[in-house]
Chains A and B, each alone.
Chain A
Amino acid sequence: MGQAFETWGNPSSSHAHGRQANEIIEKIRRLIAQVTGVSPLEIVFTSGGSEANTLALMGSFFLKKPGLRLLTTTVEHSSVRDTASLLESQGVSVDYLQVKRSGVFDLDAFERQVTEFRPTLVSVMAANNETGVLFPLKEISRICREKGITLHTDAVQAFGKISPEEWNFCDLISITAHKIFGPKGVGALIVRRGTPLVATHYGGAQEVKRRGGTENVLGILGFGGAASELPTREEIENIRVLRDSFEKGLLETLSGVGLNGADVTRIPNTSSIRFEGISSEVLLGALDLEGISVSAGSACSSGSISPSHVLLAMGLNKQEAKECLRFSWGKTTTREDIDTVLRAVVKHVTRIRDRKRKA
């Protein structure tokens, strides 16, 4: 935290305090560039993943040459989805690609849609934030490159969980600090050299005129701290082993349990699981009261949970989608943690189902 006091100055100021703050930002810019395998100049700090996604899409729209045509999928984060529908309301042609029932990206359909719809911009996430399902970005990128289409990827969920080589070849890339145990409210859009983009925030020449406004120096400092402690290859493999044993344990112990995105390539730390007959809020609450934090769908501003559009797009009905919980693991997760969570889930699911049977 000592370094935090060095962030007091405005990085745009010429005086010593300003220079000190600027030095911190530039040091971390180099670090982020290094861990993502891009060049420091390509990093544009933002207030997080949502702003990065919005900037990628809106910043392409404001180019206005030769007229934006956006192709995206039905399972993107709401920051992409809502920006896409805003663009649609502004007269932009937008088309949506369906995923297969298992959540798998349909490459054939994508290729067809690219030929028929002729997009100028494709926005496809690297890994889904709810199911962890990975999309084949290399193939998608190859198709886009052949046709001269700009490719944006929302790599928020993939960053820190798979190698950057799996996604850093895209033209525009969104990442965020809080998905790698950094602070909330800071992230970056990676704008690869040669990719045109217009700023959506104005106020100064910061971030090489791609994002105006005084930088969140303290947030960026935290982003750097988290980026310097990304899990190693071995640690990631360990998370995968623990995650798999949790899923296996659950499926063996309980009936009426379904794994979303089973048999599909997923990032190693996410399990999206459906508990038949138990609404997600109920189980989420029961686990929370034991100090176990899990997620359900996407939380709206009131904290109320709507059926996940991702799970609906994967072919689950509303009822089924309201019975799913997401478990996320990290590099500090231990075998004991897995066992504790497993025992708690089995206990509550059994108790709730017993009660419903008697009622």
Chain B
Amino acid sequence: MSSLIPNFVPEKPSRIVVAMSGGVDSSVTAGWLKEQGHEVIGISLQLHDMAEKIENEFGTCCSLSDIMDARRVAEKLGIPFYVNNMEEEFRQAVVDDFIQEYLNGRTPNPCIRCNEKVKFRQLMDWALDLGADYLATGHYATVIPNQENKQMELFKGGDVDKDQSYFLFAMKQEDLARTLFPIGGFEKKVVRDLAVKYGLLVANKPDSQEICFVQAKSYKEFIEEEVPKELLKPGNIVDPEGRVLGQHTGLHQFTIGQRKGLGVFGKEPLFVLALRGKTNEVVVGPEQNLFRKSATVSTLNWINEPLTQARKVHAKIRYRAKESPVEVMPRPDGKLDVRFEIPQRAITPGQAMVFYEGEKVLGGGWIEDLSIQ
């Protein structure tokens, strides 16, 4: 089976710009579109200068060696290929926010932010300036136009393990109408087979795992290298009742649900329950306290019509979490209260919560600080 869900690709030969990262998915996207008879143009953004670290090959997105892979793929496919240096824009829109979120005791998702602020902004603009009809990416997600209202609807990808629809919840209708995910309905195995068929050297390149700009470091090391020392403030480690159990040297070292490296001990194993940005406190407690049934989500985006009344849907609290049944209740202030049927472990402020109805993505938003609730 090559496709689980039909996926929108124009029948008429079009000029399509493919965002190429040097990975197998976007490479096959370009090759497949060319095979269908479209005029394909490859573009890459250089988002961080890895020139001095080129000996390190970590198989992540958008470093110099990956751009060279993308260039080689474009040469192999015989398509034009352009690179734009957007280190500064990426730094401002994604990396600075990533650091600031950690310093505030939140756990950010830079990939969604990059999609929203960089990929589907800068890349889309660039594609349209090149006279393209569409921008295509190698995401595992599908888009299908609704025949009745002509709106584009977003669905999960064809490969259950690779589905990336979670990262796309912030997309706007006008962008969905101009974006193609040509391999979004394929299984990864099919994509790798196509890479072999097209003779692409990246056929066996490992999938990206890390946050691209953090590379082989831990995110903690990355932040400590990037941030002036005085911004990494020490504070107290407390229990839920506020009793001080110990000290820490900066909130950025912790994520909710973390057990190792706390340096404090109780009668039972202790886990990070919350990070309080205002008071710079790490709240720890037993594992059962990690499970919560409610959360508040803000800065919402709905792919189609916005939710205006309470409704039972499914929600995913992080990329690798399973969807779980919820009841969502819009609030007068524009935020959304979410009540889970099954308690969720480590609902984490700063992560996105994405809502699904079956295979269909309804929309999503950002999980607010638990302390604000």
Which residues from chain A sit less than 8 Å from chain B, CB to CB?
278-279, 281-282, 284-286, 288-289, 300-306, 318, 351-352, 355, 359
Minimum Cβ distance to chain A for residue B13 (Å)? 15
Q: Which residues of B contact A279 (CB under 8 A)?
A: 84
Q: Is A351 touching B46 in the complex (CB atoms < 8 A)?
A: no
| B196 in the interface (beta carbon within 8 A) | no
User: How many whole Å from B112's CB to the nearest CB in chain A?
Assistant: 23
What B residues does A285 contact at CB under 8 A?
41, 43, 80, 82, 126, 129-130
**Contact between A301 and B83, CB atoms less than 8 A apart:** no
Report whether B131 and A289 are in contact in the complex, using a CB–CB cutoff of 8 Å: yes
B51 in the interface (beta carbon within 8 A): yes
Query: Mind listing 26 A-B residue pairs with CB under 8 Å?
Result: A281-B82, A281-B83, A282-B126, A284-B82, A285-B41, A285-B80, A285-B126, A285-B129, A285-B130, A286-B129, A286-B130, A288-B80, A289-B80, A301-B51, A302-B68, A302-B71, A302-B83, A303-B71, A303-B83, A304-B44, A304-B46, A305-B84, A318-B88, A355-B128, A355-B129, A359-B125
Inter-subunit contact B64/A302 (CB<8 Å): yes
**B85 CB–A CB distance under 8 Å:** yes
Chain B residues near A304 (CB-CB < 8 A)? 44, 46, 67, 83-85
Q: Bound state CA distance, A278 and B88, in angstroms? A: 17
Name the residue on B nearest A286 (C-beta). Answer: B130
Instruction: Please tell me if the beta carbons of B128 and A302 are within 8 angstroms of each other in the complex.
Output: no
* Nearest-neighbor residue (CB-CB) of A353 within chain B: B129
> Is A282 a contact partner of B129 (Cβ separation < 8 A)?
yes
Query: A282, B67: Cβ atoms under 8 Å?
Result: no
A74 to B52, CA, bound (A): 23
Chain B nearest CB, measured from A207 CB (Å): 32
A311 CB, min distance to chain B CBs, angstroms? 15
Distance (whole angstroms) from the CB of A256 to the closest CB of chain B? 15
Most-contacted residue by chain B among A285, A302, A352, A355 (CB, 10 A): A302
Of the candidates A279, A286, A303, A306, the one having the most CB atoms from chain B within 10 angstroms of its own CB is: A303
A306 CA to B64 CA in the complex, in Å? 14
Contact check, A281 vs B84: say whether CB atoms are below 8 A apart: yes
Q: Mark B40-55, 1 if CB is under 8 A from A, else 0.
A: 0101101000010000
Residues in B whose Cβ lies below 8 Å from that of A278: 129
Residues on A with beta carbons closer than 8 Å to the beta carbon of B131: 286, 289, 351
Are A282 and B130 interface neighbours, CB within 8 A? yes
Please report the C-alpha to C-alpha distance between residue A305 and residue B129 in the assembled complex, in whole angstroms: 17
Cα A38 to Cα B83 with chains together (Å): 42
B88 / chain A contacts, CB cutoff of 8 Å: 318
A352 and chain B: residue at smallest CB distance: B129
